[in-house]
Structure 1
Amino acid sequence: MNKVFPLLILLLVVVSAAMGGLYLLSRPQPPPWTSDSRQALEAFEQGLEALKKRYLSEAHEHFERAVELDPDFAMAHLFLARHWRQRASAERLRAVDASRLTPREALFIRYYLAHADGEHDEAEAMLARYLESHPDDPFALSVACDASWLRLDWDEAERCYQHLLERHPNWVEAQNRLGYLAMARGRFDEAEERFQSYVYIAPDQANPHDSLGELYMLLGRYDEAEEAFREALARRSDFCPSLQHLMELMIFAGEIDRARQALADLEAEEACRDVLKGGLRCHAEVLLSYAAGDFEGGWQRVESCSERLYRSVLPHRLALLTGRREDAFELEERLRAGVAQEADLPPREHQWHQAALFHVEASRLLADGRPAAAAELFARADELSTYWGDSQWAFKLYNRLGWLTALELAGRAQEAKALRRKIAAINPRFASVFHAGQETLAELARQAMARSDGDSAESAPRPQ
């Protein structure tokens, strides 16, 4: 009896401790976001989930609902300000009482406002300090990884996303980002593996299929790309990126009638109307005309919406091809002024606009019969461009077509041959849809060279 009693006491202590642990685990935990409204918190969480899936219109509705239910919900205002640039929410953040927020929320508010005020170094410093004491916070890690990506510090971004994925395997956006980083750097096999893993992890979401489709489109695997985009739309019929990518795919495949139908489908989708307002419709119509060889029709479309297209390279090319040199100069100057004013933009955006400026300058030099000088600027544009998504890969390949023409007309045959092989190795079908535009530009160059007293390089034969 004396031996049993101590064992019974020990058993009761162990059971009590276990039950206490279960109580601690089951006891309601405070929410990670600060709001006095349970319904507002639910709406906010739904917004976060939709945003992770890239369902932007749905996310917007949920965040709007959250601030409607709780006008003082700081984090809901932050997401509206950051992702939809809503000025009222941005101003509201400046009056937030940070003492009632969690450390993560207070950091994100200060971080956003510091960037908004141009204090970029201070913003990154406060994020680094927070991560020293909260090294595994997935939200803060994600922001840090995105910051490295925007700075074009891709080695650090890759390391950061990999760490985020190791610590939080269900943070599938990191898998997507790693796929795009591999794609941007020309590591296409690795990118395919990443995107296929993304599909495997989240097969019922639209975005994984869309990301895989973008890679296939870049590589000229157009049938597989269409299948992937349709898989995305089967999961979310109003997924605007896939509707847009289907239209672009049909253009790059030279199927102009199907591209026009895809544009009509995009326009018919109510959820995508905000996307179209941003100039996508204008850009699509101009690109359709250019790909069809209707340069005059393309220019007429440029004139109807040029305010939204001056940063695009196509209006400038169309101005050259239709003999509107003064318009080409004006577009070039507007782009140059825009680049000068954008020094404070994230390097990724500024670098893209600088690449576009080099491209249009090179195109004008080529049309003027100066292929050697044009080749140098096309090369500089190539250095600044990547195979990233959002059709930046299309610009890189398109710029290389101009570079190829300049090299051929400058008599640099070996360099031209090597560049042609590089283009074909990535997407052997890309050049065909832009052949008419490239040949017209080459003919302008040959005519200008014939009028000049150029050297033998300036009198190079028509490329075969």
Structure 2
Amino acid sequence: MRRRILIISVVILAGLAVSWLLIAQRQPEWTTASADALGEFELGLEAQGKVYSAEALQHFSRAVALDPDFSMARLFQLITASDSKDASLDRTQARIHLEKTDPSGLKPRERFLLGYYLKLFNHDAEGAAEALEAYLDAEPDDPFALDILGRRQAGRRDWAAAEKTFKRLAKVAPNRVEAYNQLGYIALARGDFADSERMFRTYMYLAPDQANPHDSLAELLILTGRYDEAREQLEQALRAKPDFCVAFQHMHSLAILKGSMDGMEAVVERARAAGCEAPMLARMHCQTPLWRAMHGQDWEGVWQVLSGECGQVLGEDTLRFTAAVNTGRTAEAAPTLAKYLQALEKEPPSFKKSVTSAISLFMQGQEELAAGRFAAAAERFAGADAQLTYRGVDETGTLKLFNRQCWYRALRRAGATSQAASLLAEIRAVNPPFADLTAAQ
């Protein structure tokens, strides 16, 4: 009898343990009193994972409306609105509300995310880094923290560390398929186009019905001159999500590198019909005449486009500067270069500073080229090239190709034919059609 009672007791205890385990597993990861708010928040996270920012913001905003004290919904609403430059949210009030949140009622991940981002919002970069390090010491496999870490590493161009982090993220959280997207861009930055394509195609295989994998692969194909394949991937992205507006922008990027803006008016109208935002439509509308003039090296035409309303819409400092020095408007050019040089003195070492440095050197190269100082121009363009990577069409990939085109032109005019030929071969190894355009100029 005693043995039977003991067995029964063990069974009961085991049953209770399983019950408590199941209850613990059912506990929501996020702190809110509203099941509906939690549902909207989770839909927001799902949309965010697909890189559908507008949808994510809508869901986070609904979650906040359903539970104004849902701090994570409010935090992700603020982050998404800031990243997408959405002007509908009063960001100051959102931050004030978050700063009043009592972290003691939050779960560890929530406390970390709230503390980390509040430090960033308050320009305490060192404190944010310390918070991330401390949390990862306690929770080394937390997918949210790993994603933040990987992006920080990529932001400071530590490609090896970023690659390691995103591979770890993909392993510990297989549902975070966007990790392969980041790995694709990291490979692009390293100039490993084959590995980049493998990562993007893996991303596409894991998320075949999403738009972003097709768009990301299209960026690689655009930069490497596989224009027909790129256009098909962009069309596939739009079939997956007809209002995935960045795909229309990348059709413009393709046309810019291809050297022909034919048909771009129709792309703008497609974007308009898809409901894309007015600022994006205005930029695309202005890019068409701008790049038609650029492709014809009509610097007066470029100046006229950028001196009107399109100048404010596009904010194209580099092209406006280039047009100015090539049309004898040196007085108009000087303040633009001075602005970038002053920014360089103030900025701490960062990805942003490397881009600012590259743009400054590119402008100085254009100034030297226009003045006929070809060897000096080549030196400036070489300096800019060292600061630039092929990490995406929208980041620095397009600028790197055009900077190399100008560098080639400067070398050729300086009489450095051997160096020019070597550089052209490097351009051709990346993007053969763009190399043909470069050689023809």
TM-score, structure 1 length as denominator?
0.85
Unmatched 5+ stretches in structure 2: 83-90
| Match of residue 425 from structure 1 | 429
Alignment of 1:274-313 (within 5 A): 275-276=280-281, 281-283=285-287, 285-303=289-307, 304-307=309-312, 309-310=314-315, 312-313=317-318
| Match of residue 19 from structure 2 | 23
Cα shift at 1:334: 3.1
Cα shift at 1:403: 0.8
Q: 1:330 aligns with which of 331, 335, 359?
A: 335
What RMSD in Å do the two structures reach over aligned CA positions?
2.5
Q: Is the 8 A contact 1:312 1:356 kept in 2?
A: no
**Structure 1: how far apart are the matches of 2:209 and 2:186?**
23
**Structure 1: how far apart are the matches of 2:322 and 2:272?**
26
* Deviations 1:83-131, CA, capped at 9 Å, x for gaps: 3233321222211111111111111121112122222122111111111
| Match of residue 447 from structure 1 | none
**Structure 1: how far apart are the matches of 2:73 and 2:185?**
28
| Match of residue 86 from structure 2 | none
Q: 1:183 aligns with which of 174, 183, 188?
A: 188
Q: Is the 8 A contact 2:261 2:288 kept in 1?
A: no
| Match of residue 457 from structure 1 | none
**Structure 2: how far apart are the matches of 1:432 and 1:320?**
26
**Structure 2: how far apart are the matches of 1:199 and 1:192?**
10
Q: Secondary structure at the match of 1:387?
A: coil
* Deviations 1:277-318, CA, capped at 9 Å, x for gaps: 7x5654555234323554433322211243454554222222
Give the direction of change, closer, same or farther, for the CA distance of 1:371–1:180 in structure 2 (3 Å limit): same
| Match of residue 379 from structure 1 | 382
Matching residue's letter, 1:29: R
| Match of residue 356 from structure 1 | 359
| Match of residue 132 from structure 2 | 127
Matching residue's letter, 1:317: T
Matching residue's letter, 1:364: E
Give the direction of change, closer, same or farther, for the CA distance of 1:293–1:379 in structure 2 (3 Å limit): closer
Give the direction of change, closer, same or farther, for the CA distance of 1:298–1:379 in structure 2 (3 Å limit): same
Runs of 4+ deviating beyond 6 Å: 5-9
Alignment of 1:155-166 (within 5 A): 155-166=160-171
| Match of residue 224 from structure 1 | 229
Give the direction of change, closer, same or farther, for the CA distance of 1:284–1:20 in structure 2 (3 Å limit): farther
TM-score, structure 2 length as denominator?
0.90
Of 360-369 and 307-316, the range deviating more from structure 2: 307-316
Cα shift at 1:171: 1.3
Unmatched 5+ stretches in structure 1: 440-464
* Deviations 1:151-200, CA, capped at 9 Å, x for gaps: 22212111111111121222111111011100111101111111110010
Cα shift at 1:269: 3.1
**Structure 1: how far apart are the matches of 2:321 and 2:436?**
21
**Count of paired positions:** 430
Give the direction of change, closer, same or farther, for the CA distance of 1:284–1:23 in structure 2 (3 Å limit): farther
| Match of residue 420 from structure 2 | 416
Matching residue's letter, 2:111: A
Cα shift at 1:417: 1.0
**Structure 2: how far apart are the matches of 1:123 and 1:367?**
45
Matching residue's letter, 2:385: D
* Deviations 1:139-158, CA, capped at 9 Å, x for gaps: 11111111111122212111
Q: Secondary structure at the match of 1:429?
A: helix
Matching residue's letter, 2:166: Y
1:42 paired with 2:39, answer: yes
Q: Is the 8 A contact 1:287 1:314 kept in 2?
A: no
Q: Is the 8 A contact 2:116 2:128 kept in 1?
A: yes
**Structure 2: how far apart are the matches of 1:88 and 1:288?**
44
Q: 1:205 aligns with which of 210, 218, 235?
A: 210
1:139 paired with 2:144, answer: yes
Alignment of 1:241-320 (within 5 A): 241-273=246-278, 275-276=280-281, 281-283=285-287, 285-303=289-307, 304-307=309-312, 309-310=314-315, 312-320=317-325
Q: Is the 8 A contact 1:289 1:298 kept in 2?
A: yes
**Structure 2: how far apart are the matches of 1:324 and 1:334?**
17
**Structure 2: how far apart are the matches of 1:302 and 1:434?**
24
| Match of residue 107 from structure 2 | 102
| Match of residue 408 from structure 2 | 404
1:66 paired with 2:63, answer: yes
**Percent of aligned positions that are identical:** 38
